[in-house]
Amino acid sequence: MVTKTSYDVKDLSLASEGRKRIEWAKKDMPVLSMIGDRFEKEKPFKGIRISACLHVTTETANLMLTLKRGGAELSLCASNPLSTQDDVAASLVKDFGVKVFAIKGEDNKTYYSHIESVIENKPNITMDDGADVISTIHKKWDKIDFNILGGTEETTTGVIRLRAMVKDNALKYPVIAVNDSMTKHMFDNRYGTGQSTIDGLLRATNILLAGKKVVICGYGWCGRGLATRAKGMGADVIVTEVDEIKTLEAVMDGFRVMSMNEAASVGDIFITVTGDINVIDERHFKKMKDGAIVANSGHFNVEINIDALKRISSSRKRVKTFVEEFKIGNRKIYLLADGRLVNLSAAEGHPASVMDMSFANQSLACEYILKNRAKLENKVYVIDEKIDREIARLKLKSMGIKIDALTGEQKKYLASWREGT
């Protein structure tokens, strides 16, 4: 039974719409459903409390329900102040008894008070997207009076923060880097972020992409996906990078590559997906064309130097939901979604079909922590390759795609160094 003190959502009357949307997403999450069927029989999480800090979307709701079928006691807060779907949050509380603390548009203070609320649930497992729960717990480790067995981390930026904690000898419990599973970053970051970032850009602005010069900062997993999809819609894509190898890859994939200084005066639209800070800075804003649109799809809202933009602008006003106009001299620059991840702020985030694999990884990572708790050290682990391949196998099965198996002769040949031409 969820009481008023054990949740904080915008409006419980939104629940029926949220429930319909959760069910709509479920039909594209067959791998998660199969895992849920097994969890329901085996109850691996009986007596286990899991506190999650994830984007509160329809797909996350399906992950929560899968863990619940396995017997977990759950609490959930948002991993970004703008990414909560209020109807989904309402349905999770009202229809499914999950303790949710998340309101779209919450200020920073509320965001962190919601993180405190899920920590008050005394989790045995933490589940992060960006490492905010883990870092909050570690900052007050001497006050933690409950047994944490392990944690999971969903995104690149979170994994970077965790590896920095390991380097500092600061990590107090084992964490599974879900992002580093092949069935996560090769699909979620590339195809999910690729498509949903364009979705966010278009829902916020309704601009025509064909013929526009789109500057994509960062050619990692997300950037590659985004560049390919923007090109597919007719954009003239320009990439900026700091890594020689990724730059070569972008060039050979057929994209123009420039320094950000050069691209600043060329682009019509700028999107950052680097996980880095101040990638678009004061000197770049000063060069941008009138009407330039600037957005971010990296985890934190630090990739665009918004303070500098505010400082050099003579005025700023909201001209459309998720679009803010900044005036510099007689030029106007448009910032989307306060520089927060545009795909989750202005659109619905990744499609369920891709989150199916990411959240299959999350579910199995939680089970892995429980099964292996005796031997796990305070390190960052990548999920067992066997589990990763099993997720891919189940996904292919759900898609009705068959593949070949190696013959005995082929296995022998591939394992041998003796045979040549």
Site residues, ligand NAD (CB under 6 A)? 155-157, 185, 189, 193, 217-223, 240-243, 246, 273-276, 279, 297-299, 341, 343-344
CB-nearer residue toward ligand NAD: 30 or 351:
351
Task: Using the minimum distance from each CB to ligand NAD, give the nearer residue, 99 or 161.
Answer: 161
Q: What's the Cα-to-Cα distance from 224 to each of 100, 106, 194, 229, 361, rounded to whole Å?
A: 34, 31, 8, 9, 22
Shortest Cβ 143–ligand NAD spacing (Å) = 29
Smallest distance, ligand NAD to C-beta of residue 239, A: 8
Q: State which H helix or E strand residue 38 sits in.
A: helix 30-42
Complete edge-to-edge strand list for the sheet that includes strand 315-320: 256-257, 236-240, 213-217, 269-272, 292-296, 331-336, 323-328, 315-320
Query: CB 12 → ligand NAD: shortest distance, Å?
Result: 27
Nearer to ligand NAD, 117 or 274 (CB): 274
Q: Kind and range of the H or E element at 19?
A: helix 15-26
Please state, in angstroms and as integers, the Cα–Cα distance from residue 41 to each residue in 143, 321, 391, following that order: 36, 45, 19
292-296 and 315-320: which strand pairing? unpaired
Joined tokens for residue 223: 């950037």
Q: Smaller CB distance to ligand NAD: residue 155 or 313?
A: 155
* Contact (Cβ atoms closer than 8 angstroms) between residue 131 and residue 275: no
Min separation Cβ 252 and ligand NAD, Å: 15
Contact indicator for 58, 92 with CB cutoff of 8 Å:
no
Nearer residue to ligand NAD within complex by CB, 15 or 295:
295
Cβ closest to ligand NAD, residue 12 vs residue 186: 186
Q: Are 305 and 333 in contact (CB under 8 A)?
A: no
CB of 200 to ligand NAD, least distance (A): 9
CB of 249 to ligand NAD, least distance (A): 9
Is the torsion defined by CA of 207, 317, 87, 153 positive or negative?
positive
Beta carbon of residue 149, minimum distance to ligand NAD (angstroms, whole number): 25
Toward ligand NAD, which CB reaches closer, 73 or 303? 303
Across the beta sheet with 73-77, the strand order is: 99-101, 73-77, 49-53, 125-128, 150-153, 175-177, 380-381
